[in-house]
Amino acid sequence: MKFDVAIIGGGLAGLTCGIALQQQGKRCVIVNNGQAAIDFSSGSMDLLTQLPDGKKAESFEQAYEQLERQLPQHPYALIGKARVLEKARRFEQLAQQIKLGLAGDSEHNHLRVTPLGGLRGAWLSAASLPVLAETESAFPYQHIAVLGIEGYHDFQPQLLADNLVQNPQFAHCRVTTAYLHIPELDHLRTNAREFRSVNISQLLEHKLAFGDLVREIKQAAAGAQAVFLPACFGIDDAVFFNNLKQASGLNLYELPTLPPSLLGIRQHKTLRSHFEQAGGLMLNGDKAQSAEFDGNRVSRIFTRLHRKDAIFADHFVLASGSFFSNGLVSDFDRIYEPVFEADIIGAPQFKQDERLSWTAHRFAAPQPYQSAGVAINSACQVQKCGRFIENLYAIGNVIGGYNGLELGCSSGVSVITALVVAENIAAAQG
């Protein structure tokens, strides 16, 4: 099998890169091993919310110089401020073009409400999420009803309500709680393992008395100006939720639940659909296992399902993610990237050959191993045995040198590096 570009990994980074390349006329294949981290995400994407020294970053442009000085190996520092901002705006345009349903911009972070009633910075958020444009702004409604679903334990209305009013932006609000019964869910309640957001959504879309649900929501809201619901209404897109909002006449908002997250699943399905509509090929349920090199270039890769029928390409993109998706693997004495055996780097406190440096003493502290990943240059080319491979690139969370969870930049790095690599490949083949 011969392609212009072979991408290993079908998550946010891989699909974004694939869509951009397909739009430029390249023939791409994505080797997709299974569920991606985006299926478990909050529905928000972050560009940069915190600096390595712990200071909050409310604006990427204003915080960039400090980030570059404190963590010069961060992918943003390698790529450069101007190009990062350019690609951030390009992704905003792409998200609008393919109707991802995101709100926000790279000029300034906004605050999103978390399922536990906290506030976190974000770059882009699903339009159905409750957000605040600025840290000082107050939520525009005084009475909020938080509605759970009877018997559903992955969303706790009272806990959310108690924590929400501790934030100054919600201190003026009266927050009440109630539960929806929704009789159609009765048989799910008999098995807690099946009572999850995905199962609820699938059942409601096919067996729901829609008018009854609208009436139940309006009754439980008890005149509230804003209503917070768990994200359990609409697995493929936001149409079902928007119909609820329109039919009820209420200011409905949805919040992510314990994984899997419908908000993330919707985004994943939209990205995958547009990649395939653009002519891209998905090899689902397959896994890249090894590669062959011709000098300083990758010549082909072998997968679990194509051990004898290799995949040839002009360029290869490693978008396999971190430990969660086995893009990185740890043994007792080493952390490694299993397909290409790329060089591994981490944050300054991480030393690959010293296992005791991989973890911090405090369990809740940022862990050094979370910064481990492959080494790249400014073009996102992968380093192996001290030299950069001409036609092998890395994008997303498989890249090392930073802790995306700590700094709030995981999804930003994913889409920025994806678009940088798509541009570099187009230029190399042009």
pLDDT tens digits for range 310-331: 999 999 999 999 998 999 999 9
Distance CA 49, CA 335 (A): 27
Extents of the domains making up the chain: 2-103+266-346+372-429, 130-255
Which pLDDT belongs to residue 429? Answer: 56
Across the strands, what pairs with 303?
288
Query: Which residues are CB-contacts of 415 (< 8 A; sequence separation ≥ 6)?
Result: 12, 13, 16, 45, 87, 88, 91
Distance CA 208, CA 147 (A): 18
Question: Does the CA dihedral 401-407-411-412 come out positive or negative?
Answer: negative
**Fold entry, domain 130-255:** Rossmann fold (3.40.50)
Distance CA 167, CA 417 (A): 34
Which pLDDT belongs to residue 99? Answer: 95
Distance CA 242, CA 115 (A): 20
Dihedral in degrees, nearest 10, Cα atoms 415, 419, 425, 429: 150
H helical segments located in 355-409: 404-407
Q: For residue 268, give Cα distances in angstroms to 95, 197, 251, 420.
A: 12, 16, 26, 20
Is residue 359 within 8 A of residue 353, CB to CB? The reply is no
- Quote the Cα angle for 173-56-69, to 5°: 170
Distance CA 323, CA 397 (A): 9
Dihedral in degrees, nearest 10, Cα atoms 131, 65, 79, 266: -10
Which pLDDT belongs to residue 430? Answer: 47
Across the strands, what pairs with 176?
145
Query: Which residues are CB-contacts of 335 (< 8 A; sequence separation ≥ 6)?
Result: 328, 329, 344, 352, 358, 369, 372
User: Does 3.50.50.60 match the CATH number of domain 2-103+266-346+372-429?
Assistant: yes
User: pLDDT in tens for each of the 430 residues of the chain?
Assistant: 899 999 999 999 999 999 999 999 999 999 999 878 898 899 999 999 999 999 999 999 999 999 999 999 999 999 999 999 999 999 999 999 999 999 999 999 999 999 999 999 999 999 999 999 877 789 999 999 999 999 999 999 999 999 999 999 999 999 999 999 999 898 888 887 789 999 999 888 776 788 999 999 999 999 999 999 999 999 889 999 999 999 999 999 999 998 888 999 999 999 999 999 999 999 999 999 999 999 999 999 999 998 888 999 999 999 999 998 999 999 988 999 999 999 999 988 898 888 888 998 888 888 999 999 999 999 999 999 999 999 999 999 999 999 999 999 999 999 999 999 999 999 985 4
Q: Is 250 left (phi over 0), alpha (psi -120 to 50) or beta?
A: beta
Q: Does an H or E element contain 381, and which?
A: strand 381-384
Dihedral in degrees, nearest 10, Cα atoms 314, 320, 326, 331: 70
Is residue 316 within 8 A of residue 301, CB to CB? The reply is yes
Distance CA 56, CA 329 (A): 31
- DSSP label at 430? -
Secondary structure class of 6 (helix, strand, coil): strand
Task: Give yes or no on whether 2-103+266-346+372-429 and 130-255 have one common fold.
Answer: no
Across the strands, what pairs with 108?
105
Across the strands, what pairs with 392?
316
H helical segments located in 109-209: 157-164, 186-189, 197-207
Query: Which residues are CB-contacts of 208 (< 8 A; sequence separation ≥ 6)?
Result: 182, 184
The candidate with the shortest Cα–Cα distance to 382, out of 370, 358, 398, is 398
